[in-house]
């Protein structure tokens, strides 16, 4: 039997270093006559940057739902045999990075539940802030005994939503969703389906992106526009905040599950999370990042010989910095694209080499040069510290660091897993102190106004909580927040019982769902 991944993808090439971990990627397709599982596979492939811990696809042939999910990258989880077994005309898919619940097979998505009229499979991008309240609601409505996915060890907010969607015997799935969605707080871009209908919904603030596309013979919903491009779907529009979309044999219909509220799109999607070829709210992410670099050059000029990016996330901003400053742009670092997406934990000897596992300097390019090094953000600072040391050892005369986002000082509760506030280097130090700690000759962050202007979005319609500490969606008390909230024994959900559906494990993590 071939070895299977454990989902422990290593981003942490330096001891105790943790960058901003991505949100998840969701994809859904309704397309009779198409190979929907393969369309979903390639859609998830385009969204792989949003989550690398697990991947899953559920399909419906109108009579039965099948789901296949496992730990690992999309290309590691699926092969031709698995995809060919997933028949149907509807599919939903998910690429996961954990923000509620640990990185385990039980927490992989799509999640499943048996409804009064069939089955529901659900995929979620974002993070709910009222998870503890939803635990109380599940216990109040259906008893404290854990059922469905919760009974099988799932500890995610997605499993709670699935339990609420699936548990009402007196209403259709759509009617139940219209009742449950207004009860959810936080960030959620949801894609789900039953045997006949594909659904999508977005939280009232529109924190995470979600878009609608048209196929010749169907419809697609996805986290980002490149997932539409890769399957040949034409962009139609964004799913609106507070909107529920349903697609079935009668076509597409839409309704609002809440009144319009103040938008709060995540500004960090423009800075780092989204692919550069994505368009969000009409603005090209690549163009926004280049403009951030231009404004950074205007705000923090310096005499230097070469502008180099920290690949790949710093590249667009470095291009903009070079354009605005007149300093030549160069590739001073070469990246090993496969390290940082590995299941193998580096030995201590390799860890001592630190960032060289991922980046190596082009000595002939940087030797004797005064460098401007452009990156998207600083979290703990360990990566930048090791990078600056490496550049100096390679002969750089000066190293001036420029960052295309303001200092990250606050945690995110809406789907990005930053380090804790105590670990954020900008939380306790002034900019000059951070620069000194990193060993840089100078350090400059873009201003909040400069970053927001580059997005071309109204400041009032963006969430900037990780920079300002001003959270647009009210947070509960600290004891009712946290990634591992549902793994705490004191929550009012009792011991597992037999679930509402039977999950039959198969080779490589395949699962088939049948009604008992």
Q: Is 479 annotated as a binding residue?
A: no
Residues 6 or more apart whose Cβ sits within 8 Å of residue 453:
291, 295
DSSP structure string for 330-385: ---EEE-TTTTSBSSPPPHHHHHHGGGGTEEE-HHHHTT-EEEEEES--SSSHHHH
pLDDT digits (tens, 9 = 90+) for 337-394: 765 544 455 566 666 666 777 889 999 999 999 999 999 999 889 889 999 999 999 9
Do 328 and 250 lie in one domain? The reply is: no
How far is it, in rounded angstroms, from Cα 29 to Cα 16?
Answer: 40
Q: What pLDDT sits at residue 497?
A: 43
User: Is 269 contained in some domain?
Assistant: no
Out of 462, 491, 506, pick the residue that ends a domain.
462
Out of 413, 444, 462, pick the residue that ends a domain.
462
Secondary structure element (H or E) that encloses residue 388, with its range: helix 382-393
Q: What pLDDT sits at residue 350?
A: 64
User: Is 2 contained in some domain?
Assistant: no
Spans in the chain with pLDDT lower than 50: 1-22, 341-343, 489, 495-516
How far is it, in rounded angstroms, from Cα 79 to Cα 62?
Answer: 24
Do 403 and 435 lie in one domain? The reply is: yes
User: Is 471 contained in some domain?
Assistant: no
Q: Are 157 and 101 in contact (CB under 8 A)?
A: yes
Do 83 and 147 lie in one domain? The reply is: yes
Out of 446, 462, 478, pick the residue that ends a domain.
462
Q: Is 403 helix (H, G, I), strand (E, B) or coil?
A: strand
User: Is 249 contained in some domain?
Assistant: yes
Task: Give catalytic residue positions.
Answer: 24
Give the CATH number for residue 124.
Answer: 3.60.20.10
Do 227 and 290 lie in one domain? The reply is: no
User: Is 470 contained in some domain?
Assistant: no
User: Is 272 contained in some domain?
Assistant: no
Do 87 and 123 lie in one domain? The reply is: yes
Q: Are 140 and 103 in contact (CB under 8 A)?
A: no
Dihedral sign, Cα of residue 185, residue 189, residue 194, residue 197: positive
Q: Is 248 annotated as a binding residue?
A: no
Do 145 and 241 lie in one domain? The reply is: yes
Do 122 and 57 lie in one domain? The reply is: yes
Do 53 and 95 lie in one domain? The reply is: yes
Do 133 and 177 lie in one domain? The reply is: yes
Q: What pLDDT sits at residue 98?
A: 60
In the DSSP assignment, the letter for residue 501 is S
Q: Is 463 annotated as a binding residue?
A: yes
How far is it, in rounded angstroms, from Cα 39 to Cα 219?
Answer: 11
Total structural domains within the chain? 2
Do 293 and 253 lie in one domain? The reply is: no
Give the pair of three-digit tokens for residue 383: 């990566």
How far is it, in rounded angstroms, from Cα 105 to Cα 15?
Answer: 26
pLDDT digits (tens, 9 = 90+) for 415-427: 887 767 888 999 9
Bridge-partner residues for 200, per DSSP?
Answer: 191, 245
Do 218 and 290 lie in one domain? The reply is: no
Q: What pLDDT sits at residue 509?
A: 35
How far is it, in rounded angstroms, from Cα 342 to Cα 11?
Answer: 8
Q: What pLDDT sits at residue 23?
A: 67
Give the pair of three-digit tokens for residue 500: 């509402």
pTM of the complete model? 0.88
Which residue, chain included where needed, has tokens 């630190």?
354
Residues 6 or more apart whose Cβ sits within 8 Å of residue 398:
304, 370, 371, 441
Do 326 and 254 lie in one domain? The reply is: no
User: Is 48 contained in some domain?
Assistant: yes
User: Is 328 contained in some domain?
Assistant: yes
Q: Is 313 annotated as a binding residue?
A: yes
Number of CB atoms found within 10 A of residue 183's CB: 14
Q: Is 466 annotated as a binding residue?
A: yes
Bridge-partner residues for 119, per DSSP?
Answer: 114
The range of the structural domain enclosing residue 399 comes to 280-337+347-462
Percent of the chain with pLDDT over 70: 83
DSSP structure string for 186-238: EEEEEEEE-SS-EEEEE-TT--S--EEEEETTEEEEESSHHHHHHTTPEEEEE
């Amino acid at each position: 039997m071939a070895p299977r991944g454990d989902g422990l993808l290593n981003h942490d090439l330096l001891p105790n270093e943790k960058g901003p971990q991505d949100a998840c990627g969701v994809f859904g397709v309704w397309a009779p006559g198409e190979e929907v599982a393969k369309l979903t596979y390639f859609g998830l492939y385009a969204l792989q940057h949003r989550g690398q811990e697990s991947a899953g696809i559920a399909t419906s042939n109108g009579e039965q739902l099948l789901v296949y999910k496992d730990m690992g990258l999309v290309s590691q989880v699926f092969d031709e045999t698995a995809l060919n077994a997933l028949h149907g005309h509807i599919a939903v898919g998910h690429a996961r990075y954990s923000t509620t619940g640990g990185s385990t097979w039980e927490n992989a998505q799509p999640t499943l539940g048996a409804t009064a009229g069939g089955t529901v499979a659900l995929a979620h991008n974002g993070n709910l802030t009222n998870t503890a309240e939803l635990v109380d609601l599940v216990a109040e409505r259906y008893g404290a005994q854990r059922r469905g996915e919760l009974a099988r060890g799932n500890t995610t907010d997605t499993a709670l939503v699935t339990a609420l969607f699936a548990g009402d015997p007196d209403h259709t799935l759509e009617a139940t969703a219209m009742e449950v969605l207004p009860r959810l707080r936080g960030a959620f871009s949801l894609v789900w389906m039953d045997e006949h209908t594909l659904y999508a919904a977005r939280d009232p603030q529109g924190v995470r992106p979600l878009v609608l596309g048209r196929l010749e013979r169907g419809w697609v919903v996805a986290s980002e526009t490149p997932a539409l491009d890769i399957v040949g779907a034409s962009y139609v529009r964004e799913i609106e905040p507070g909107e529920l979309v349903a697609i079935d044999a009668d076509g597409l219909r839409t309704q609002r599950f809440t009144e319009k509220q103040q938008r709060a799109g995540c500004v960090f999607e423009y800075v780092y999370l989204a692919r550069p070829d994505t368009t969000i709210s009409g603005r090209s992410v690549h163009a926004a990042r280049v403009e951030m670099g231009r404004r950074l050059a205007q705000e923090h000029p310096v005499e230097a010989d070469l502008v180099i990016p920290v690949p790949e996330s710093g590249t667009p901003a470095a291009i903009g910095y070079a354009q605005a400053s007149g300093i030549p742009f160069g590739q001073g670092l070469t990246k090993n694209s496969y390290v940082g997406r590995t299941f193998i934990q580096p030995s201590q000897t390799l860890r001592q080499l630190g960032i060289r596992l991922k980046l190596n300097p082009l000595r002939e390019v940087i030797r004797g040069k005064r460098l401007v090094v452009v990156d998207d953000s600083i979290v703990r600072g360990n990566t930048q510290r090791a990078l600056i040391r490496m550049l100096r050892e390679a002969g750089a005369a000066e190293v001036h660091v420029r960052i295309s986002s303001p200092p990250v000082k606050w945690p995110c509760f809406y789907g990005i897993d930053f380090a804790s506030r105590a670990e954020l280097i900008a939380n306790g130090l002034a900019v000059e102190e951070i620069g000194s700690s990193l060993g840089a000759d100078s350090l400059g962050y873009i201003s909040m106004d400069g970053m927001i202007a580059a997005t071309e979005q109204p400041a009032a319609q963006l969430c900037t909580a990780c920079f300002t500490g001003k959270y647009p969606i009210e947070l509960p008390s600290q004891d009712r927040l946290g990634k591992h909230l549902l793994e705490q024994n004191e929550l009012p959900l009792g011991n597992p019982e037999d679930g509402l559906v039977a999950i039959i494990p198969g080779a490589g993590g395949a699962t088939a769902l049948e009604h008992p």
